[in-house]
Amino acid sequence: MQAQVEDAPGGRDREPLPPTRTTTLLAELVETVEGDKTSLGWLLAQLKLRAFGYALLVFSLPSCLPMPPGIPTVCGLVLALVGVQMIIGTRRLWLPSVLARREIGKERLRAMVARATPWIGRLERLARPRLAVFTGAIGHRLVGSVVVILAIVMALPIPFFGNMPPAIAILIIAIGLTEGDGLIVAVGLAVSVVALALSGTVAVEGVHWFIGAVGA
């Protein structure tokens, strides 16, 4: 089984701006989950033609909050695949079955959306279509390149919430894409530099702490 969704981030059939705001779509997405759990592949399929921007948002969201080990790694791998597909301009958003079958509980998904909604809502109120260069074909490839780097860092076992800064940067970029606001995308790209510096610092300090603990 493979999860595929039609899309065209760099082609003639580029996705239109969504008729609903990002927070509304996330709330509706949670309510459409049947049962106690759902798979990453199912979530991807529900995003339909808006798959790329919303995939970045949905799979960065869990790591913006303190999560059990393993979740940032899985989400990082998914985001890296999304980023690569943005770079090459693929028309289909694809996940290998081993990732598409991974499950997340409905209540955990609901809690993540509820905690993030106020912050996303603040950016929504500022968002409007502008700086289209960051949301067009060239922008998608640039964003894809940055997302791949951030996602790889996010997937690493960095201690002390070191996975959160790159996830927050991807989330900001994703909101800019879903709202068609190139300025927010540009802010997210700038935040990416800070996020990488923070995660690198945390990783180095974590290694120093571990070496000191072992030496003691």
Predicted TM-score (pTM) of this structure:
0.79
Read off the pLDDT of residues 104-141 as tens digits, 9 standing for 90 and up. Answer: 888 888 888 888 888 888 888 888 889 999 988 889 99
Q: Which residues contact 115 (CB under 8 A, 6 or more apart)?
A: 65
Read off the pLDDT of residues 53-84 as tens digits, 9 standing for 90 and up. Answer: 888 988 898 888 777 778 888 899 999 999 99
What are the sequence ranges of the domains in the chain?
A: 3-215
d(CA 62, CA 59): 6
For residue 15, what pLDDT is reported?
A: 46
